[in-house]
Structure 1
Amino acid sequence: MPAQAHILIIDDDPLIRRLVAKTLQNEGMQTTEAVSGEEGLKIFQEHGADAVLLDVIMPNGMDGFATCARIREQSTGQHIPVLMMTGLDDLDSVNCAYGSGATDFITKPINVPLLGYRIHYLLRSAKTTYRLLDSEQRLHHMAYFDSLTELPNRTFFQEHLKIMIAFAQRHHQKLGVLFLDIDGFKRINDSLGHHFGDLVLQETSNRLRKCLRASDALIRVGNTTSDGISLARLGGDEFTVLLSSIERNEDAATVAERIRKSLAEPFILADQEIYTTTSVGISIYPVDGETELDLIKNADLAMYYAKRAGGNSYRYFSVNMTEAAKRRLILENHLHKAIERNEFELHYQPQFDLITGSYSGVEALLRWNCQELGRISPAEFIPLAEENGLIIRIGEWVLRTACLQAKNWHNQGIRLSRIAVNVSGKQLLHKGFPSLVAKILAESGLKPNTLELEVTESALIFEENILMEALKSLKKIGIQLSIDDFGTGYSSLSRLMNFPIDCLKIDQSFIRDLEQNTAKAAIVAAIIKMAEGMNMKVIAEGVETNDQLDFIKNNQCKEAQGYLLCKPLPSTQVEEFLRNQASLRPNV
């Protein structure tokens, strides 16, 4: 036992405090008194104690359970004796006392002679424990803390959240759980190396600590602020924040927005300026879950939706997200089997030469008719295939099927100047993609210059060096390259000129309503002029009205596709359409 043990007494009843203090002073101990959980926590943080006597029921402010849990979160409070004083003798209260970290409890009215012996015993036991603290603390730190950021880990966060849920349930309070993920973190690791990735994670954790301070209250060891904010790193680039004392759901959004703004500021690391953005998901106890696992899972799901919407934002969890997640899981399971079950088919939409009035090529468009679910929109299943990596296999099937079909038509006398196939950025970045294209062309017998690969503008944003090598390799094979959905991405004109592109496809969002929208009309006219100056072809997609067709013709756009001219058709129907067109086609 210390030479003169310091005992902190926390009780809102002045008579109990004086009785306990006098008893312990007579036993040769030093005492400090606090009238509330908040005051006791502050005293402990500033001065420490060798043991704490703590009343359970304190109506104004934190009760004893919450106070005990907060003491245990302090580095100096993890192993000291905490004796809880309670008039409650039900099993739930006893379990809650131990669950919050109490060493032992004593019932009221207090047996004064027994109290002195109890404290002496606890202090002697603690002295034995202290001899093992160095090794125990190291093991504890390894088990509960992340070595890279020094933040609590998933295990710590889940256990702490479980305790705080019990308190919130008892006092009918709300909790907020924030799930954070750094947008594009894999790109940082891949392009700059894992060392830079680790530096970004460390700096992220530092910024999170700073922006989660409330009223300039320092985040304590254990990473919990005095206003009930706690922070953890779950792994990778995923972090969580617990808001254990919110009045309104909107309070969580305030913190999420503060985090978003802080992490959007550039990192200066080893003389490099690195920009990141963050997606944040929010779940609220008890409406979004009553267990720690449900709250974390639902905040994670909300974060996924924030990321799907483009990132750099936050989303609240909703039940609709759960239904969508179930739908996504079902689709993913069926998508794995779609090729083997022959559920995919290609439709083809003709592209027209506006000078001759006849077709100039076709675009292959993927369709999925699932045996169990029926027809699934490409807008739903293609992003899913890109996320789970199935786009590599599916893309190969599309490319091979389209090339074989084009060669078959050619053998029948139906001549195409090109067949266009969409490829994703993931396909282009996949090792050996140019070799795969060459192999499929050889297998099908299709001339390379008949094949055109369409790449979305947004796919050209990242991994420029790798993409450039892939595109150059494809050009060496002799195929044509076009940028699909042009105008919707973020490519600068100077970057665009670096890529070996043959054609720009004006996105249909610009063609739609251009008759009434002068801004869209100006953009379309500018794209056509720009492409002409860069010696590129231009195709306007999504042409649905005669006015739209007249506009692009008058602005010297030479090719178009859209429902006005011909909708996408299955192979047999488009074959008939092409034959009829060929019979009317002038000799060229």
Structure 2
Amino acid sequence: MIDNNLFERQMTALVVDDDIAHKLLLESTLLAAGHLVKSVENGKQALEAFQQMSIDIVLMDVNMPIMNGFDACFQIRSLAQGKDIPIILITGMDDHDSIQKAFNVDATDFMIKPVNWPILGHRVSYYLKAGNLFKELRSSEENLKEAQKIALMGTWELDLITNNLIVSEQLQQLSEIPYTPFNVDNSRFLEKLHPDDKFAIGETIKQSIYHKKPFDVEYRIRLKNQQERVFHEQAKVIYSDDGTAYKMLGTVQDITSRKGFEEEVRQLAYYDVLTGLPNREKFKQLVHTALDRAERKNEKAALMFIDLDNFKTVNDTLGHDAGDKLLQSVTQNLKDCLRPSDYISNDEQIKLSLSRLGGDEFTLIVSGLKDTVGLENIASRIHKKLSQPTYIDEQELLITGSIGIAIYPDDGNNLETLLKYADIAMYKAKEFGRNGFQFYSNSLNNHSAEKLNFEIRLKKSIENNELELHYQPQIETKTGRLVGVEALVRWNDPENGLVSPNDFISVAEKSNLILALDNWVINTACQQAAAWQNQGLEPLLMSVNISGKHFQKSALKPMIEQALTDSGLSPEYLEIELSESSLIEITDTTIALLNEVQELGIKLAIDDFGVGFSSLNYIRKFSVDTLKIDKSLIDNITTDVCEAAITKAIIDLAKTLNLSVVAEGVEHKDQLAWLQQHECRLIQGYIYSKPLPLLEIERYFEQTSQGAIKT
């Protein structure tokens, strides 16, 4: 949480951004932290606002019309009142040149999009505090002027004759020593020093006295919680007329954050300049980390070797500049389709690490695997993404990729072996006609048999109507009244028992069984909703999640229309949920298809809203009726002011756009109270009920008929 008592008055933040949605989230986060906010849309307006009012901190986007963030930062720094104001530039350009340019115009710090909203409030608070301290130092006593030049954070004075030590209040706070304005026991500071640094500091001081020169040293201290901080200290020795050293004056600054940034810059040596991906050296580190984890946790890991087909032809025909642009485009495409959340089941925490070895060779490390079933899903997604047309300098290029896959520990237990086998498998993929993927050795046969058997069982279950729907209630916040349910498909496999939806839905999508599966779900849900109404129940909104596979077909509207006709359900009681993954590759064709579906009179909802990089863009591209706030935000709304601010911003955005808003995954009463206070319309989560099978949800309905639902 951010402590607003750090400031005697409310701080004013200047937000400069031409993106309305991004600006709204910035404003909400800062307001939630207790700051005043002034918002403008470009660098020119920022200069005008800065000259007209008192500003304490500036948060500014780089890419803006009229005047960009770099130029505006430079202009603000040229103003007398702008020399010491913290300026944080926000950019989507994560490269060395952009970083260097930001600091060339004297930016205090920079943030890379997408912004980590929970961290933003804390970072702003830190720089406001640092800025206030710097202002205080500028007006302090004359004997601190020299320290002000080096942006001191604390001072000390040591009498070499009496060994009396006087330490500023700020330095005592930084060192977690109880404040005293009088002499401080020198040993209390010495015990804070990192053991490995004590000798070097002692020698530095001795040499300073002997040579009669100031000294400059960095060292680490350990706080009570064993946290390490890095201090930068500059000091000089004061001599009497007879040359006797009798006093030392020093200034100390906590440079932990700066050292962290220097470490980031150092890490640039491990990243490919062209694509921004980890290079070969960093790749080796990532593989060793993944294998260590796999061995420690008894997991599997995989190494995918990705080679672009016919890249040399493009390079030779269009030139190296076009080749470089193509590699950058391919990199972005790979990043877009490699999100761990798409491949995580209830008991897995999969990590994906993409690297560029050089030329047109890429690698993907997949760690945290319990088995290899999901690897084909990942490889297929890469294959599909690479197969899409790419436009370089207005010329369409059809680029494909061949992928080889080696698995730890099945195929090898070290980097060299896995890389060699993945490379061999990749060339086997090329031999089979390119534009595909191959597992190394017998892993392919074993995996194919397992996958085929799984698909056959799932297909039979769909055909034999062996699936079932569970229903999770949606409760109106103000009244506690049941207004809808979400239908969730479940598969109780006769051979293996209950199968995770993440597992069988991904297999269904790969084998095109998803079309039949979704058709079954929509028909069953509509039939059940109509049946409840025929039994005399008050009409409920039935929400159903569909796959993005339907966006590649023209059968979505007829499928929904047929389900409504067969069931007799009025369209206003059916809501189709579009998941984050469904919207990754949204096109004009997709938008037209969704508009056609909405013309039926049904409702559209965006699921998992607020956690994706581009969620805010979806509501601009097509008409939606409902935003469903992701559970990851709801989990922290009562403990993290920044995530609470984001959630409130989504609720406010929904109100502004006249949309319904549902909070997913609500489990605790304090979360419910917060959502009630901020007027979130609907609640869905275990605080009211888990997803229930048919008989249990109907018993639940009987309870609701007796009044508002109780938590």
TM-score normalised by structure 2 residue count: 0.42
**Could you tell me which amino acid in structure 1 is paired with residue 696 of structure 2?**
Q
Question: Cα distance, 1:337 vs. partner?
Answer: 1.2
Residues 1:255 and 2:357 are matched in the alignment: yes
Contact 1:346 1:366 in 2 (8 A): yes
User: 2:523 — aligned with what?
Assistant: 400
Contact 1:346-1:571 at 8 Å conserved across structures: yes
Alpha-carbon deviation of 1:550? 1.4
DSSP-derived class of the 2:361 partner: helix
User: What residue in structure 2 maps to residue 484 of structure 1?
Assistant: 607
Task: Call closer, same or farther: CA 1:362–1:302 in 2, change over 3 Å.
Answer: farther
Q: Which amino acid aligns with 2:361?
A: I
Structure 1 residues 424 and 284, CA, compared in 2 at 3 Å: closer, same or farther?
Answer: closer
CA shift for structure 1 position 584: 1.8
RMSD, aligned α-carbons:
4.6
Matched residues in 2 for 1:581 and 1:270: separation? 62
CA positional deviation for 1:254: 7.0
Q: Give the equivalent residue in structure 2 for 1:419.
A: 542
**Equivalents in 2 of 1:522, 1:277: separation in Å?**
43
Question: Which whole-Å CA distance do the structure 1 matches of 2:621 and 2:425 have between them?
Answer: 41
Distance 1:476 1:359 in 2: 26
Match of 1:387 in 2: 510
* CA pair 549-327 structure 1, distance change in 2 beyond 3 A: farther
Contact kept? 1:343, 1:368, Cα under 8 Å: yes
**1:343 shift after superposition:** 2.1
Structural mapping, 1:463-502, within 5 Å: 463-491=586-614, 493-502=616-625
Q: Name 2:314's counterpart in structure 1.
A: 203
How has the CA–CA distance of structure 1 residues 285 and 403 changed in structure 2, closer, same or farther, with 3 Å as cutoff?
closer
Which SS does the other structure have where 1:349 is aligned?
A: strand
Q: CA deviation at 1:503?
A: 0.3
Q: Distance in 2 between matches of 1:275 and 1:548?
A: 50
Structure 1 unpaired stretches of 5+: 1-175, 183-197, 213-251, 304-313
1:497 CA displacement? 1.9
Contact 1:256 1:280 in 2 (8 A): no
2:487 and 2:542 in contact (8 A); partners too: yes
Match for 2:599: what amino acid?
A: K
The separation in 1 between residues aligned to 2:633 and 2:645, in whole angstroms, is 10
Matched residue type, 1:259: E
- For 2:498 and 2:475, locate their aligned partners in 1 and report how far apart those are by CA, in whole Å: 28
> Is the counterpart of residue 288 in structure 1 residue 288 in structure 2?
no
**Secondary structure at the residue paired with 1:337?**
helix
The equivalent residue for 2:653 is 530
Kept in 1: contact 2:469–2:521 (CA 8 A): yes
Paired amino acid for 2:549: K
Give the letter for the 1:180 counterpart: I
When residues 358 and 258 of structure 1 are mapped into structure 2, their CA distance, relative to the original with a 3 A threshold, is same
In the TM superposition, residue 286 of structure 1 has moved relative to its aligned partner by 12
1:130 aligned residue: none
Q: Is the 8 A contact 2:307 2:361 kept in 1?
A: no
**Which protein shows a greater Rg?**
1
Q: Which runs of 5+ in 2 are unaligned?
A: 1-301, 324-353, 364-381, 430-436
Write out per-residue CA displacement over residues 207-239 of structure 1, whole angstroms, 9 at most, x where no aligned residue.
9999x9xxxxxxxxxxxxxxxxxxxxxxxxxxx
- Aligned CA distance change for structure 1 residues 415 and 272 (closer, same or farther; 3 Å): farther
1:347, 1:367 within 8 Å by CA — same for their partners in 2?
yes
* Alpha-carbon displacement from aligned partner over 1:537-579 (angstroms, at most 9, x marks no partner): 1000000111111122222211110011111101111011112
For the pair 1:565 / 2:691, whether they are aligned, the reply is no
Corresponding residue number in structure 2 for 1:517: 640
2:306 to 173, 180, 191: 180
One-letter amino acid of the structure 2 residue matched with residue 458 of structure 1: S
* CA displacement at 1:394 relative to structure 2: 0.5
Q: Is the 8 A contact 1:362 1:419 kept in 2?
A: yes
Deviation readout 1:375-422 (Å, 9 max, x if unpaired)? 101011111111211100010000000000000000111123310011
- Per the TM alignment, residue 427 of structure 1 is displaced from its structure 2 partner at its CA by 1.9
Q: Does the 8 Å CA contact 1:458/1:489 hold for their aligned counterparts? A: no
**Which residue identity does 2:306 align to in structure 1?**
L
Contact 1:343 1:371 in 2 (8 A): no
Match of 1:579 among 702, 708, 711: 702
Match of 1:433 among 549, 556, 560: 556
How many percent identity over aligned positions? 37
Residues 470 and 694, structure 2, Cα contact 8 Å, conserved in 1: yes
Question: Would you say the 8 A contact 1:353–1:359 is kept in 2?
Answer: yes
How far residue 479 of structure 1 moved from its aligned partner, in angstroms, is 0.4
> Which residue identity lines up with residue 362 of structure 2 in the other structure?
R
* Cα offset, 1:522, TM superposition: 2.1
Q: State the alpha-carbon separation in 2 of the partners of residues 450 and 324 from structure 1.
A: 42
Query: Structure 1 residues 268 and 471, CA, compared in 2 at 3 Å: closer, same or farther?
Result: closer
Q: How do 1:111-150 and structure 2 match up within 5 A?
A: none
Task: Sort the Cα spacing of 1:525 and 1:298 in 2 relative to 1 into closer, same or farther, 3 A.
Answer: farther
Q: Secondary structure at the match of 1:338?
A: helix
Structure 1 residue 452: Cα displacement: 0.4
Residue 357 of structure 2 aligns with an amino acid whose one-letter code is V
CA distance 1:465–1:562, change in 2 (3 Å): same
Matched pairs, number: 343
Q: Does 1:459 align with 2:582?
A: yes
Q: 1:388 to 1:315 in 2, by over 3 A?
A: closer
* 2:454 counterpart residue number: 331
CA contact (8 A) 1:260 1:279 kept: no
TM-score by length of 1: 0.50
Q: Distance in 2 between matches of 1:516 and 1:384?
A: 38
In the aligned structure 2, how far is the partner of 1:323 from the partner of 1:459? 30
Mapped pair 1:548 → 2:671: yes
- CA drift of 1:177 comes to 9.9
Cα pair distance change 1:278/1:507, threshold 3 Å: farther
Paired letter, 2:562:
K
SS class of match (2:523): helix
Q: Distance in 2 between matches of 1:389 and 1:550?
A: 43
The CA deviation at 1:322 is: 8.6
> 2 CA distance for matches of 1:567 and 1:361?
14
Q: Deviations over 1:238-296 (max 9, x none)?
A: xxxxxxxxxxxxxx9773797339x999976352598999796454999838x99x946
Q: 2:493 and 2:699 mapped to 1: Cα distance? A: 26
Q: Deviations over 1:119-177 (max 9, x none)?
A: xxxxxxxxxxxxxxxxxxxxxxxxxxxxxxxxxxxxxxxxxxxxxxxxxxxxxxxxx99
> What is the match of residue 346 of structure 1?
469
The CA distance in 1 between the partners of 2:359 and 2:411, in whole Å, is 20
Cα distance in 1 between the residues matched to 2:697 and 2:408: 56
- The answer to whether the Cα contact below 8 Å between 2:473 and 2:691 also exists between their aligned partners in 1 is yes
- Residues 339 and 527 of structure 1: CA distance in aligned 2, closer, same or farther (over 3 Å): same
CA contact 1:503–1:536 (8 Å) conserved in 2: yes
CA distance in 1, matches of 2:694, 2:446: 35
One-letter amino acid of the structure 2 residue matched with residue 553 of structure 1: Q
Task: State the secondary structure of the residue aligned to 1:255.
Answer: strand
Task: Write the deviation string for residues 432-483 of structure 1: whole angstroms up to 9, x where unpaired.
Answer: 2101211110110000000000011332232421211111111111001100
